[in-house]
Structure 1
Amino acid sequence: MYTREGKYGHTCVVPLQNGSLTGGSRQIPVALLVTQIKKEVGDAPVLLRFSEVLKLFHEFGHVVHYMCNRASYAKFSGLRHFVEIPAQVLENWCYEASSMKLISGFHQDITKPLGDDVCKSLKRWRCSFSALKLKQEILYCLFDQIIHSTENVDIVGLFKHLHPKVMLGLPMLEGINPASSFPSSAIGCEAACYSHIWSQVFAADIYASKFRDNIFNQHTGMQFRNKVLEPGGSKEPIELLSDFLGREPSIQAFVYSKAQAYDNSSFR
């Protein structure tokens, strides 16, 4: 789990073997979780930053998604089908005080978890600059669609054209090329990075509707496993989500989360 010289420098999940039925027996799925935790220096303990905990939960969500798949054919297994939704759903547990207290502890006294004030601060931090972040995502999505549907694009010129139309009043820095630092969430999703936002929409709806009132509800967790994770790509994603939610997915939870406007009674 620790960083080392020469190691692939990204936190991710690498599928090694898809699950499937072969000759009447099940081939088990195998996945590799690659992490980049810093090693201890001298007597200093290894302490995870909150961003690292969040990333670990996200990537472990991919592992759970991969391992729970029970599709008959390897083609319908793996992580290709609405890949980000289960991982983004699991991120929510990082912002809930009850779950954070279970996994946290002061390094000199493991019996002392994070305090309520810190947990509340982390939850408020989640919505910081949410509108600005969403506009930036939209900017990259537009840019992504254009460069994959147009020939001989002036990349720098295109960004200069789109930036003022989307960012509304925030000037683009001169002498830079934003395309050279494309968001990591879009890597491997060329011409489809807009789907990452839709994953956020669906994940927000799943969590707000099914998990938020009781994040340790085993019955709901098993339903999510059986109805969403197990079928894999053998069913259309919208069909899986509708079956689990009992209705078609809604954008309401996502909009409320970006507006910082929901509380515990918003969806009752």
Structure 2
Amino acid sequence: MGYFFLDLYPRDGKFGHAAIFPLQPSCVRSDGERQVAVCAMMCNFTKPTKDKPALLDHSEVETYFHEFGHVMHHICSRATFAMFAGTRVERDFLEAPSQMLENWVWEKEPLALMSAHYETGKTLPDEIVEKLAKSRKANAGGFNLRQIILSTFDQSIHRTGKADTKSLFAQTYRDIMDIEPIPNTNMPANFGHLAGGYDAQYYGYLWSEFSQWTCMTADSKRKEY
């Protein structure tokens, strides 16, 4: 179906975030044959040592599944033209496959399949799985407000040709979060998605979450009937 490269651990000079990079789209060539998709998945996970394997924490596993959702999106694409292949979709939908795949790391059955104590082989106890599930909901309101702040700020600066980003972000933060931002900080200076291809469409993360929840709710209601 396709190929992907994994580059999982940090090293000097490497890209410091987690992302996938399309290398070849799945599309129909001029000779009528389909070429397979190829992409690279880059992360910066905890390295193994001589005494221990790379013991990923839960957030790293979630990141792995998120990025692998992008890998599957790229590889499973069957577009005719390269310009529509893989993750070259409407930005509103881009994060949907990756966020759907994240759900597996919060469910008991897949967690039991993918995790074990590296020395004893025992799976995660039920109480830890339950605590993980509860932790996902902890501070969810604050997380969503932050996403609304980032999305609103993103829309605001892309509607004007000039802006004091530091002041505008601070005011947006006050308006939505109703608290003061940390003094003498300038978060937008480190907000890579502002110009990293998302432009005024950073809201796609929150939109994908909402779309996913709507689909799951609709499916649940169908089962009830």
TM-score by length of 1: 0.73
Residues 62-107 of structure 1: CA deviation (Å, up to 9, x unaligned): 1111111111111111202121101100100100000000000001
1:128 aligned partner, one-letter code: A
Give the counterpart letter for 1:18 in structure 2. Answer: P
State the Cα distance separating 1:35 from its structure 2 match: 2.4
Question: Which residue number corresponds to residue 230 of structure 1?
Answer: none
Q: Alignment partner for residue 51 of structure 2, among 31, 37, 43?
A: 43
Q: 2:139 aligned with 1:129, yes or no?
A: yes
Query: How far does the alpha carbon of each residue in 1:130-166 deviate from its partner, in whole angstroms, 9 at most, with x for none?
Result: 1111111111111111111113212222123222211
Contact 1:38–1:46 under 8 Å retained in 2: yes
Distance 1:35 1:159, change over 3 A: closer
Q: Hey, what's the Cα distance between the residues in 2 that align with 1:98 and 1:145?
A: 40
* Partner-residue secondary structure (3-state), 1:61: helix
Offset at 1:3? 2.3
Query: Counterpart amino acid of 1:102?
Result: L
- After superposition, the CA RMSD in angstroms is 2.2
| Cα pair 2:106 2:132 within 8 Å, conserved | yes
Q: Does 1:52 align with 2:60?
A: yes
The residue type equivalent to 2:162 in the other structure is N
Distance 1:183 1:144 in 2: 11
Q: Please say if 1:16 is aligned against 2:23.
A: yes
Matched residue SS, 2:69? helix
Match of 2:84 among 76, 84, 94: 76
Unaligned runs of 5+ in 1: 214-264
- Quote the Cα distance in structure 1 between the aligned partners of 2:217 and 2:192: 26
Equivalent-residue separation in structure 2 for 1:172 and 1:2 (angstroms): 33
What is the distance in 1 between the residues matched to 2:61 and 2:14? 20
Once structures 1 and 2 are overlaid, which stretch shifts more, 87-96 or 68-77? 68-77
Aligned to 2:187: 178
Structure 2 equivalent of residue 100 of structure 1: 111
Residue aligning to 1:193 = 202
- My pick for the range that moved more, 94-103 or 141-150, is 141-150
* Structure 1 position 109 matched with structure 2 position 120: yes
CA deviations on 1:225-254 (whole Å, 9 max, x unpaired) are xxxxxxxxxxxxxxxxxxxxxxxxxxxxxx
Shift of 1:25: 1.2
Q: Find the aligned partners of 1:15 and 1:44 in 2 and give their Cα distance.
A: 32
Shift, 1:113, TM fit: 0.8
- Does the CA contact (< 8 Å) of 2:170 and 2:180 recur in 1? no
How many residue pairs are counted as aligned between the two chains? 213
Counterpart Cα distance in 2 of 1:197 and 1:17 = 28
Give TM-score, length-normalised by structure 2. 0.86
> Is contact 1:89–1:206 with CA below 8 Å preserved after alignment?
no
Distance 1:56 1:18 in 2: 22
Q: Which of 88, 95, 110 is the equivalent residue of 2:99?
A: 88
1:162 corresponds to which of 150, 153, 172: 172
Structure 2 residue runs without a partner (length 5+): 1-7
